[in-house]
């Protein structure tokens, strides 16, 4: 079906560069947690485009705000201001103030990788000459642009693109001693996820995150938290760092911040942001009015429904049900960022495929576990529906 669906110049022609593997389904339409493919088949989306459409597909509040904005003003360049982007940056700053007790400043961009590029450049400018190193964790994911890829703790992803940019080192996730040992005078910052998302939905412990905060304070390093996947209520708090009660120096965001509109942001404490001067960074699309409208609509709607509380409560409900399924050995994660561990005898990819055929969208985040990150707006009946589908597939012995 995919070859036929993509066919524009011959049966086997695919217009996309071959970096993603062959997609098995083409989706045409979505509403809330439901998706429909081009044949009209219905699915429940328990991946949310990888933790992106946290308010559901085509959320009316977000769609209306974006539609109104695109019919009012879309883009004027950074030589000028526009009210929508200014409001978005103010809203993000207000949220970071409420959650970390600090005021800062925002750079708006278009993706998580770009947000991390800003963090890495900030770290280098903050560190000064000779102090440019960024320590991140093995198993981490920070994006695909070259510096974000260099920060990503997955050596196999580096290999085809050597040489990587300099100044990156990786330590085992969760090992504070290893992190401390990796710090020398060339290190300027630590970049860390509070839950490793792509790495398998592995939450950091509170002690680890507090330990990093303490080390960064002692050594004068920036604690930079990549909240691209964990941010915007996904884990049951606005940001993952809140679970540990710490205040980061730099926070990067994307995914859920736009509910599907491509936008990202880097936030830094005011004295940290102050190391940037005009010309140090930029992007044509930094702070377009449309992106600004999307961000403010997402924050307002998440506040209105109290998305962090919903994610926490529904996440508990879902995890309780998942862990009771025969064939689920454990459930990891926080809020509505979860992984069901199927155990070493089970091929998660086969389970993913069977679930997709039955109309449930998930992701085999590693060889033996399924990532589940449904929209926060998902009604409880649809959690039950998903649990029944997973239980059914596992009971049939799929993937054994």
Query: Buried b vs exposed e over 11-50: b needs ≥16 C-beta within 10 Å?
Result: eeebeeeeeeeeeebebeebebbbbebeeeeebbbbbbbb
The length of the chain, given as a count of residues: 400
Residues acting as catalytic residues = 141, 226, 255
Nearer to ligand PLP, 287 or 399 (CB): 287
Select 143 or 287, whichever has its Cβ closest to ligand PLP: 143
Nearest approach in angstroms of CB 143 to ligand PLP is 4
Would residue 373 be called left, alpha or beta, if left means φ above 0 and alpha means ψ between -120 and 50 degrees? beta
Report the candidate in 280, 230, 305, 284 with the shortest Cα–Cα distance to residue 105. Answer: 280
Give the binding site for ligand PLP (CB under 6 A): 111-113, 116, 141-143, 193, 197-198, 226, 228-229, 254-255
Q: Coil, strand, or helix at residue 200? A: coil
Closest-approach residue to ligand PLP (CB): 112
- The least distance separating ligand PLP from the CB of residue 225, rounded to whole angstroms, comes to 10
DSSP E strands, the chain: 27-31, 34-37, 42-45, 104-109, 133-137, 168-171, 187-192, 195-196, 202-203, 222-226, 250-253, 264-269, 330-334, 337-341, 360-361, 363-366, 369-372
Residue 356: CB minimum distance to ligand PLP, A: 21
- The residue among 255 and 321 lying less far from ligand PLP, judged by its C-beta, is 255
Whole-number Å distance between alpha carbons of 355 and 352: 5
Nearer to ligand PLP, 37 or 198 (CB): 198
Interatomic CA distance for residues 332 and 253, integer angstroms = 22
């Amino acid at each position: 079906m995919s070859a036929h669906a993509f066919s524009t110049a011959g049966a086997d022609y695919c217009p996309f560069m071959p970096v993603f593997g062959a997609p098995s389904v083409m989706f045409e339409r979505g509403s809330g947690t439901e998706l429909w493919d081009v044949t009209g088949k219905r699915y429940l989306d328990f991946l949310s485009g990888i933790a992106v459409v946290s308010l559901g597909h085509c959320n009316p509040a977000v769609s209306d705000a974006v539609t109104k904005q695109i019919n009012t003003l879309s883009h004027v360049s950074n030589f000028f201001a526009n009210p929508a982007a200014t409001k978005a940056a103010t809203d993000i700053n207000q949220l970071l103030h409420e959650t970390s007790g600090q005021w800062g400043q925002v750079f708006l961009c278009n993706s998580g990788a770009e947000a991390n590029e800003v963090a890495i450049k900030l770290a280098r400018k903050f560190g000064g000459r000779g102090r440019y190193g960024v320590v991140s964790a093995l198993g981490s994911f920070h994006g695909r642009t070259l510096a974000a890829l260099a920060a990503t703790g997955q050596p196999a992803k580096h290999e085809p693109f050597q040489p990587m940019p300099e100044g990156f080192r990786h330590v085992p996730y969760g090992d504070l001693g290893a992190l401390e040992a990796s710090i020398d005078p060339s290190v300027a910052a630590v970049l860390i996820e509070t839950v490793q998302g792509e790495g398998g939905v592995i939450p950091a412990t509170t002690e680890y995150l507090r330990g990093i905060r303490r080390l960064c304070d002692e050594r004068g390093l920036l604690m930079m938290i990549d909240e691209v996947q964990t941010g915007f209520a996904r884990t049951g708090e606005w940001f993952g760092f809140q679970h540990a009660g710490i205040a980061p120096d730099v926070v990067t965001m994307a995914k859920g911040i736009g509910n599907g509109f491509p936008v990202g942001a880097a936030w830094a404490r005011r004295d940290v942001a102050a190391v940037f001067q005009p010309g140090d960074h930029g992007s044509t699309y930094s702070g377009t009015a449309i992106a600004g409208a999307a961000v403010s609509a997402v924050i307002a709607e998440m506040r209105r429904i109290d998305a962090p509380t919903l994610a926490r409560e529904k996440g508990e409900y879902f995890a309780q049900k998942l862990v009771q399924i025969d064939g689920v050995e454990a459930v990891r994660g926080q809020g509505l960022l979860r992984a069901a561990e199927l155990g070493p005898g089970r091929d998660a990819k086969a389970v993913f495929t069977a679930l997709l055929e039955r109309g449930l969208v998930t992701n085999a985040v590693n060889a033996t576990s399924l990532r589940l990150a449904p929209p926060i707006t998902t009604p409880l009946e649809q959690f039950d529906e998903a649990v029944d589908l997973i239980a059914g597939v596992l009971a049939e012995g799929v993937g054994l």
